[in-house]
Chain A
C-alpha cells in the first residue's frame, strides 16, 4: 500500500465519520419533492404516442378524434410540433438523433415518439393519445443481435500488445460469455415538468446533471443558457440513464412550447422505460486465455460484440477492463458492433466494466480449474507490476489485499477444491470469487463551488451537483464542515439547480472526486481569504482543482467479491445466502452511505446474476417483458447476508481528497462471483447471465 504523503488536514474528523443522511428526514417522511411533484395550479399532462413499427415513415396522422376529446389542449406530431435546432451541436454525451423528437416523419425504432397529446388531466391525455391514428410506410427492419453477423462494425482499432496469436503455454481457456440487454429502471421514472413563459423555460427534471440538461435544451431551442433553468434537488435513482438526455424530456419541452404558461408534466410509464430512455447493450464476449501449467498468462484476447443503433452509435466497452486487469505479454482487446433498428443504448451502472468483468472473471475461474489452482492464487500469479494497458505505474492497486482480506472474512480457506463436494439436504453448496475493477475517470464537465458565511458561524455551500441517492448531500456537508472546522449542522449544502454554480454530471463514480475536491478547494479558499472570524456574507469560490499526476499514473479502484451459492437438486433453484465484498477505492468520506453504495451495487450485481434480462423480439423490435412482473429485479427476499468492507487506502495522487469513487465498482464482478460459486456448487459451468433453473436441472437433478 502506498502511503507516501499526509492527507489534507482533517480539522473536525467529519471526513470519514458516518453521520445519517442530511436529507433523510424529508425522504423518510415523503416530503422531498421529486421532479413530477411540484405543485402547479396550471398543470397540464403530456402522453406520448409511440411508433408501432421499427423502421419506416409516418405517412399520415389523424388527430381529429384526439383533438375533439374532452380536455385536450394540443396534439403534436412532426407536422405541427415546435421546431428544434436539429443542426445544433450538443454536448458529446447526447445522442442527437434520439433527441430530435417529432422533427421528421422518419421512424428509427419501435416505440419512438411519433405524436403526443397535452391535456388538462393525466386521464384525458392518456385517453386522447389512444385516439391518434397513424398510418405508416413500413420499411424492412433489422433488430437481430448476434455475434455471427457478417456486417459487424469495428468502432475503433483493437488494443494490441505483443502478438496474442503467438502466445505460448499449454493451458487454453477459449470460451464465449454473454450478458443480456438490461434496463436501468430507477424507481422514479424519467420525469419532467416544463413551463415556458414566452421568454424562458423552467424544467423540474429527474436528471444526473442540471447543467447538462440546461445546455442541451438551450441548444435544441436556440436559447441562451440563461433562459433555461433546470431544478433537480431530489432524483429517484438514475444508474446512468438520467445522465444523457432522452426523448421524454424533449417531448415535455415541446409540449411546454406548444402550450405556454402551463406546467406540462410527463413521467414515463414503467412500460415506456423499456423503449424511451436507453438500456445496457447485450454483449457476447469471446475470451481466450493462454497460460503455462502454473497459471501464468501469456496471452489475453477479448472480443466483445455489442449492440448499437443506426440512429446513433453507443459502444458498451465490455472489452475494456481486460486491458488492465492482469499481466500478460501478448494481448488484444476489441469491440464489434451490430448497428440495428433499435433504440440507442445508454449508460447503465459501470458501462463497459459491469458486463466486461463477467466473461474474463469467469474465464479466470476456468483457468484456475484447468491449472488446479485456487482461484485467488490464479489471480495473484497474474498481478501486474505496472498497468498493462499503458505501462504507467499504478497510483495504488490493492487487488491482492482485497482478495486476501475477503478470503479471511468470508472463510474461503475451508472451501473444498473440487466442485459439487458439499451437499446439505437437497442443496448443493459452493463458493466463488471474482475481482472488481473501476477506473478513476475524468468527470464529465467542470465544477465550481461557492462557500458563503451566513452569519453566526453558519455556512452555505452551493453547487449544482445531483445527489441521485449516492449520499453526495451528506458527504459534501462533511467535507465542507471538516475544512471549515465547524460542526456538520452549521453547514447547509445546496444542490441540484442550474442556478447554482456549475457541477459535473453525476456519472462515472466521479462525485466525490469532482464535487468533493471542488468543495474542499472552495472551503480552503474561504478560510485563506477570510480567516477564522469572517464577516457575515463573506464568500469564496473555487473551481475543480487540476489533478497534477493524472497523466503519470494509472488510477483505478479494485475489489474482490465472494459469493456462496446454493442450488436445489430438485428444482434447480439458485439462492445466494452470502455475498461479501472488499474494496480499495481510496478515501471513504462517509462510512454509512459508502457501505450503502457498495452493498447497493452488489445487490444490483446479484440481480444481474439471477434475474435481469430484457427480451427483444427481433420480429417487431420491441422488448416483450417491459414491466416489473416480467423484467425481474432483485427483491428483498433475494438478498440475505450481504457485506461490504474496505481497505483503508491512502492515495494522494488521485485528487486532494484521495477519493476514487464508489458508485459503480460494487456491481462489477458480482455476477461472475455468483456464476463461479454456482459452478463450485454443482460442477456446471454457466457462461451466461442470468443463471437459470434449467441450467442446472439436468446435471443436479435427482
Chain B
C-alpha cells in the first residue's frame, strides 16, 4: 500500500509516494537521498537518526513516513545550509566531538533541539525539582547536558568532547543573544 505525502526537508518541499511501511528515516535516506540522518539501530535506541521535526528533536526511525505528512524536517545538513556551519557544528569541530562521524549529525540535531528544550524550561532527570517549577533551567551545567544527551550513543567515545562542545555553543549563542546578534536562522517551523 502506498500513500502520497509532502515533506519539507532542509527548506526544500518534496511530494512523494511512499510505501506505508516506510519509516521517515528510510523515506529521507532512500527516497529523497537525504543521508545526514543515519541508521544505527532502527529501533529508537541509538539516536543516530535524530532530526528536528517541526522544531523538536525526534528519532526518525520511530516515525512512519505517512505520519510525517506535511512535516518540516531539518537535518544536520540543513543546519549548515547556505555553506556556513551552524555554531553547534563549529563547536563540535573545535572540541573534536566526534571520530567516525556516524552518530554526529544526530548528536548535533539533538544538541540544538535540547538547548531549545532547556531554554523553554523543560526539566530533565538531572534538574533539581524546584528549578523546573520556576520555569527555566537556571544553569545548563555538564551534568544537565550529559543527562539530556544520553539518548544519542557514540561508540567512539566522544562524549567528553560532545559535552564541552555543547556547553561552548550554548555560551556562544547566549552571548550572541545578549549582545543583540540574532541567533542563526533555521529552516523548519519553530515553536
Q: Which residues of A contact B (CB under 8 A)?
A: 20-21, 23-34, 36-37, 39, 43, 121-124, 127, 185-189, 234-237, 239, 267, 269-270, 468-471, 592-593, 595-597, 599-604, 607, 627-629, 633-640, 642
Contact = CB atoms under 8 A, between A and B. Distances in A.
6 contacts: A30-B104, A186-B102, A187-B103, A237-B102, A270-B46, A637-B146
A188 B38 contact: yes
B189 interface: no
Interface string B34-71: 01111111110110100000000000000000000000
Interface string B60-102: 0000000000000001110110000100010011101011111
A30 B80 CA distance: 9
| B45, B92, B126, B154: residue with the most chain A Cβ atoms closer than 10 Å | B154
A628 B105 contact: no
Contacts of A239: 155
B155 A27 contact: no
A270 B75 contact: no
Given A25-B85, A27-B101, A43-B30, A603 B36 contact: no
Report, nearest first, the 5 A-B pairs whose CB atoms are least far apart.
A30-B36, A603-B157, A236-B102, A469-B100, A27-B101
A127 B43 CA distance: 17
B160 A188 contact: no
B105 A28 contact: yes
B26 interface: yes
Contacts, number: 188
Nearest to A601: B157
Interface in B144-178: 145-147, 149-163
B41 A27 contact: no
Contacts of A26: 101
Nearest to B152: A636
Contacts of A604: 155, 157
Given A23-B101, A31-B77, A270-B42, A633 B155 contact: yes
B108 to A, nearest CB: 6
B6 interface: no
B33 interface: yes
Contact of A599 (B26, B35, B146, B157): B157
B11 to A, nearest CB: 14
A237 to B, nearest CB: 4
B76 A28 contact: yes
A189 B42 CA distance: 11
A235 B155 CA distance: 13
Nearest to B126: A637
Contacts of B108: 28
A587 B93 CA distance: 23
A629 B37 CA distance: 20
| B21, B36, B79, B102: residue with the most chain A Cβ atoms closer than 10 Å | B102
B28 to A, nearest CB: 11
Given A20-B93, A188-B40, 16 more contacts: A27-B101, A27-B104, A30-B36, A34-B102, A37-B29, A187-B46, A468-B100, A469-B99, A596-B99, A600-B99, A600-B157, A629-B45, A634-B159, A637-B126, A637-B150, A642-B160
Contacts of B22: 121-123
B19 interface: yes
B95 to A, nearest CB: 9
B147 A28 contact: no
Contacts of A237: 99-100, 102, 155-156
A607 B101 CA distance: 20
Given A29-B85, A30-B77, A469 B147 contact: no
Interface in B89-142: 89, 92-94, 96, 98-105, 108, 126, 142
A29 B96 contact: no
Contact of A27 (B19, B40, B98, B152): B98
A596 B41 contact: no
Given A628-B153, A635-B153, A28 B48 contact: no
A122 B26 CA distance: 9
A293 B146 CA distance: 46
B117 to A, nearest CB: 15
A270 B94 contact: no
Nearest to B44: A629
A29 B19 contact: no
A186 B160 contact: no
A632 to B, nearest CB: 10
Nearest to A596: B96
A26 B105 CA distance: 10
Contact of A187 (B40, B151, B159): B40
B105 A30 contact: yes
A189 B39 contact: yes
Contacts of B93: 20-21, 24-25, 28
B35 A33 contact: yes
A123 B101 contact: no
Given A21-B93, A187-B46, A639-B146, A28 B98 contact: yes
Nearest to A600: B157
Contacts of B39: 36, 189, 267
A638 B48 CA distance: 18
B37 A30 contact: yes
A469 B156 contact: yes
B146 to A, nearest CB: 4
A595 B96 CA distance: 9
A600 to B, nearest CB: 4
